[in-house]
Amino acid sequence: MRWSGFLAIAGCAGVVSGASLLLCHGNAVRAADKSVPVAASGWDREAAARSMDEREVWWQDWDHDKRDHGTRCVSCHTQAPYALARPVLRRDLGEQGLKPAETAMLADVEKRVNAWKDMLPFYSDEVYGQGKEIESRNAESVLNAIILSSYDRPLGHMREVTRTAFDHAWELQSKTGPDAGSWVWQNFAYTPWESKESQYHWAALMAVAVANAPDDYRSDPRIAANLSALQKYLASHYAAQPLLNKVVALWAEVSYSGVVTADEKKTLLNDLNTRQHPDGGWSTTDLGSWERRDKTPLETRSDGYATGVIVLVLEQNGAGERRGSRGTANPEVQRGLSWLVANQDKETGAWPAWSLNKNRDPKSPAGLFMSDAATGYAVLALEAKNR
């Protein structure tokens, strides 16, 4: 089932503010199906939600992410996966409305969207080098749209602030040149989200967000040219991408035929099958030609990020529903799901993953960034299994 399907909750129209968003989510939960017991799924939803909330609280308190007008930098590794996955847990946990960490994050994003022209870019050219203002402005516009649309999706209605966030992103979309259709992305040479390959990665995720946005946003004639340019960019630049980006492109292909050709898809699926570890998981190290900045060896064990995103995308493409030669469910997907169930940290509720950039202490705040992303995508993959 597509992402838009398993995220659908009882509709709630006319939401125009953060406060009413909170109330509306509460009403949606009360109208939802009975929650799924933790024991029945084999993994601990409550622990996963708690872990994600705690990390969001930490991010909001971190001095390094503070920006102008009392706002904070929005993060690719912590807040974006949090925004994608946290609403999904609400239904099965039977939660009554947003958690304080979510309310604070959304208020911060909405403040920057509503006062867009008054907000400074997250990174200035003067401090960080020529071009960083454009990079950070572009990246923020896409992240804002992805985050807000993820929270509107369960409501079945796009709020005005979300539509405004999309408008900001379309205004900054590259209109000419070899990368027309994409966005100039934040590049600090931190793989995989703030580096040269990140431009394609987030363009693909933007396409997914548009496809799953409520109110049939993808059919809005005002964005037809923008969306066409985005699809052309994804299709024409696919061949040059690392395997990780090709996986995300396959996610976009669910909604946009032609982003990945039939032959490209067949090759990609074969590549993913050969890279699946004997334990059923995948390693992010195997999804690109990465090299750590400190020249230390990359971690090669299976991790929650690679396994989560691959299993999720395979599920979106129907791989989880294909039948094997003996009538069993697709074995690669099932083994991946089994790995995710078995490798949730019983103490923290999170999933393991390791930096591609430095040999970080995995328990340090920065060392947990990849685990933040892993937890978000692991949750999405496991929840998709039950929809």
At residue 53, does pLDDT exceed 80?
A: yes
Q: Return the SS3 of 69.
A: helix
Query: How many C-beta atoms surround the C-beta of residue 360 within 10 A?
Result: 18
> Is the pLDDT score of 385 beyond 90?
no
pTM: 0.88
Task: Report the pLDDT value the prediction gives residue 320, as an integer from 0 to 100.
Answer: 54
Tell me the per-residue pLDDT of 242-280, one tens digit each, with 9 for 90 and over: 999 999 999 999 999 999 999 999 999 999 999 999 999
First to last CA, the chain: 7
Furthest C-alpha separation in the chain = 63
What value does the mean pLDDT take over residues 204-228?
A: 98
In this prediction, residue 120 carries a pLDDT of 92
Q: What is the band of 387 on the pLDDT scale with cuts at 50, 70, 90? A: low
Indicate the pLDDT class of residue 145, thresholds 50, 70 and 90.
very high
Reported confidence tier of residue 321, pLDDT bands at 50, 70, 90: low
What pLDDT digit, counting tens, does each position of 105-134 carry? 999 999 999 999 999 998 899 999 999 999
Supply the pLDDT for residue 319: 67
Could you give all domains of the chain from N- to C-terminal order, each with its CATH number? 3-32+44-385 (1.50.10)
Interatomic CA distance for residues 103 and 109, integer angstroms: 10
Confidence of residue 24 (pLDDT cuts 50, 70, 90): very low
Give CA 28 to chain center in angstroms.
23
Average pLDDT, the chain: 87
Identify the three-state secondary structure at position 323.
strand
Which residues, 6 or more positions from 251, have their beta carbon under 8 angstroms from its beta carbon?
204, 205, 208, 312, 313, 316
**For residue 240, is pLDDT > 80?**
yes
Provide the 3-class DSSP secondary structure of residue 326. coil
